[in-house]
């Protein structure tokens, strides 16, 4: 049996149960491209990945990683705030992933924020197919991370129960403010 390890690993496990070849998916915070590559492998050559980031460095890292792995053809890199998702796609999304905070190895002052992230998650939920899923990995240990998680949790608590299921997962015995997961399913 594989250990759950952390919120990112759990996020991948849950997403892999839903996403299939040919799907359209969104990586709302592509960072260094690890989640984007994970999604690319799930959707295959017939699928489509839209990867957002506000930092050019993140987009370049993601492009290089996917090119190296032969997965660049299904990739659309978008240099914009994830709050603007609906400016690029209005429907037909099977899954979305958010990995909040700052770019690993990058400028720690440039990071996701509560207002934009709540807006982005809600926009993604609007364009998500019935049965689609969204994962949000949040980091309460960095400055502003706990506030961002609280804002998301508050927003998601108000989603109608007949339309969405929302799960939170926290690793309560891990040191140093472990990452937390929010998992949302749009019901049929």
Q: With 70 as the cut, is the pLDDT of residue 3 above it?
A: no
| Predicted TM-score (pTM) of this structure | 0.94
Q: How confident is the model at residue 90 (pLDDT cuts 50, 70, 90)?
A: very high
Structure tokens at 64: 């290089």
**Which residue, among 182, 154, 174, 180, has the nearest Cα to 96 in the 3D structure?**
182
- Cβ(13)–Cβ(37) under 8 Å? no
Q: With 80 as the cut, is the pLDDT of residue 155 above it?
A: yes
Q: What is the mean pLDDT of residues 128-148?
A: 93
Q: What is the mean pLDDT of residues 163-186?
A: 90
Other C-beta atoms closer than 10 Å to the C-beta of 61 total 22
Query: What is the helix (H) or strand (E) element at residue 131, kind and residue range?
Result: strand 128-138
Q: Which 3 state secondary structure label does DSSP give 89? A: coil
Q: With 60 as the cut, is the pLDDT of residue 110 above it?
A: yes
The pLDDT value given to residue 178: 81
Q: In this structure, what are the phi and psi dihedrals at residue 77, rounded to the nearest 5 degrees?
A: -90, 135
Q: What is the CATH number of domain 7-186?
A: 3.40.50.150
Report how far residue 113's alpha carbon sits from residue 186's, in angstroms, rounded to the nearest whole number: 24
Q: What is the mean pLDDT of residues 13-34?
A: 96
Q: With 70 as the cut, is the pLDDT of residue 1 above it?
A: no
Sheet containing 75-79: give its strands across: 75-79, 48-53, 24-27, 93-99, 128-138, 180-186, 164-170
Domain ranges of the chain: 7-186
The pLDDT value given to residue 2: 63
For residue range 25-79, list pLDDT tens digits in order: 999 999 999 999 999 999 999 999 999 999 999 999 999 999 999 998 999 999 9
Q: What is the mean pLDDT of residues 145-170?
A: 95
Alpha helices in 6-144 (DSSP H): 7-18, 34-43, 56-68, 114-127
């Amino acid at each position: 049996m594989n250990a759950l390890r952390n919120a990112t690993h759990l996020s991948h496990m849950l997403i892999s149960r839903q996403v299939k070849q040919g799907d359209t998916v969104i990586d709302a915070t592509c960072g260094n491209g690890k989640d984007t590559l994970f999604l690319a492998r799930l959707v295959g050559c017939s699928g489509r990945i839209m990867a957002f980031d506000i930092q050019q460095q993140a987009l370049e890292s993601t492009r290089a990683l996917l090119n190296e792995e032969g997965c660049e053809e299904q990739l659309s890199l978008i240099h914009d705030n994830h709050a603007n998702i609906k400016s690029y796609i209005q429907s037909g999304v099977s899954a979305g992933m958010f990995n909040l905070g700052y770019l690993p190895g990058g400028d720690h002052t440039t990071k996701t924020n509560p207002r934009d992230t709540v807006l982005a998650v809600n926009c993604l939920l609007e364009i998500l197919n019935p049965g689609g899923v969204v994962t949000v990995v949040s980091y309460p240990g960095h400055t502003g991370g706990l506030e961002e998680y609280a804002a998301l949790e508050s927003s998601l608590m108000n989603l109608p129960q007949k339309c969405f299921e929302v799960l939170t997962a926290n690793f309560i015995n891990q040191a140093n403010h472990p990452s937390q997961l929010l998992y949302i399913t749009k019901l049929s």
